[in-house]
Amino acid sequence: MIDARIGVIEERLKNVKRIIAVSSGKGGVGKSMVSAAIALTLAKKYKVGLLDLDFYGPSTHLIINANEKPVEKNGILPPIIDKIKFMSIIYFTEENPAPLKGKDIINAIIELLTITIWDELDFLIIDMPPGMGEEVMAIIKFMKNAEFIVVTTPSILSWETVKKLLIFLRENKCNVVGVIENMVMEKSIENEIKKISNYLGKIGFDENVENCIGEPSKLLESKFGKDVEKIAVKI
Amino acid sequence: MHEWALAEAVIKTAIEKAKEHKIKKINEIDLKIGEMQDIEMDIFKFALDELMKEYGMEVKVNITIQKTRLRCNVCNHEWNFDEFELTEEEKEFVHFLPESIFSYARCPKCGSQYFEIIEGRGVWIEAIRGNDD
């Protein structure tokens, strides 16, 4: 028996030039903020999509203030928020928890990739959940050209876990664009990161970034947004 | 209509699999559709017909709807999709993304959200028949 949905995923993504999964081994490193800010920055010049695959804790809709809903037309057309085509499980689960388990996660990803019509994009940025769960495996299986950006903080607790993700990605022949070091205060682990991966840059700790949630233009103008802008040109 | 997206998925996958198995002309496809997909059958069949015309195909599609069975992992109770009382909006969400059922349904016996979809989701090609000339 063949899952009929799988054959169309490649078709759905054939006009997407680059797929970039923003990942981290650890939660709480600011991955969603980084994903959203990268998408917003790139959208100034390019056609950009943002897909939130963090089913347990979707949050990018809050960051970009995604109030518009998808439209049904020969599939699902993602709403355009601040020039970004946006899709998230939140459109189907709303404020409720989504306690999906292994194969449910894979099925939900297959369904979203089957029905979402992205059309032409220069970049599809994916906000991944923390860790090396089913979502990472699904990206490897269904989006063979996907590239990974890995986010860490300078904390040893974060970096030790992120290193494992980098090793896993390398051993599974995934293309890693590089590592972003987020929430940097005085201490940086730039040299440690450079030993095993490409270093995309650092984002300084910005105590005001919380005030930019829901206001994309304010986010881009913030210290955080300016640091992301410097990194985005290297992508 | 997202029935179009699923119909396109069926046609694309059937063509791909036929190629893999050196079938030059597809005559018949057996399709199993999960009840949770809640497909509007008229639209789905219309979409299949239109897409087949586009691809120059003439195929008999046999469709079976698979009933949904769910099992609670806490108390082992089994039940069917039609035993839920979902609002129209929730039904619409499940129609688009069947896994959103985990956000809205509970085991009717013990109230747990820790349950499994045993069967009744997805769109499956069970068989493709054709000839190689």
Residues A110-147 have pLDDT tens digits of 999 999 999 999 999 999 999 999 999 999 999 999 99
Contacts of B1 in chain A (CB under 8 A): 72-74
Distance CA A8, CA B95 (A): 19
Which of B89, B68, B94, B66 has its CA nearest to residue B79? B68
pLDDT at B83: 83
Contacts of B74 in chain A (CB under 8 A): none
Tell whether B1 is within 8 A of chain A (Cβ).
yes
3-state helix, strand, coil in chain A (%, to 5): 40, 25, 35
- Give tens-digit pLDDT for A31-80: 999 999 999 999 999 999 999 999 999 999 999 999 999 998 889 999 99
Task: Enumerate domains of chain A plus CATH numbers.
Answer: 5-232 (3.40.50.300)
- CA A53 → CA A27, A170, B34, B35, B93, distances in Å? 14, 21, 23, 25, 17
Closest chain A residue to the Cα of B44, Cα to Cα: A74
pLDDT over 80 at B21, yes or no? yes
CB neighbourhood size of B41 (10 A): 11
Distance CA A124, CA A47 (A): 9
Nearest residue, CB atoms, A98 vs list B16, B32, B103: B103
Distance CA A88, CA A90 (A): 5
pLDDT at B66: 95
Tell whether A108 is within 8 A of chain B (Cβ).
yes
Tell whether B90 is within 8 A of chain A (Cβ).
no
Residue pointed to by tokens 């050209």: A145
pLDDT at B133: 67
Distance CA B89, CA B71 (A): 24
Contacts of B13 in chain A (CB under 8 A): 2-8
Does A107 sit within 8 Å of B99, measured CB to CB? yes
Distance CA A31, CA A37 (A): 10
Distance CA B127, CA B23 (A): 12
Q: What value of ipTM does the predicted structure carry?
A: 0.88
Does B102 sit within 8 Å of A4, measured CB to CB? no
- Give tens-digit pLDDT for B42-91: 999 999 999 999 999 999 999 999 999 999 999 999 999 888 788 999 98
pTM: 0.94
- Give tens-digit pLDDT for A48-59: 999 999 999 999
Mean residue pLDDT of chain B comes to 92
Contacts of B10 in chain A (CB under 8 A): 4
Residues 11-40, chain B, touching A (beta carbon < 8 A): 12-17, 31-32
* Contacting residues for A186 by C-beta, under 8 A, at least 6 apart: none
pLDDT over 70 at B15, yes or no? yes
pLDDT at B1: 56
- Give tens-digit pLDDT for A187-196: 999 999 999 9
Does B102 sit within 8 Å of A104, measured CB to CB? yes
Distance CA A65, CA A102 (A): 29
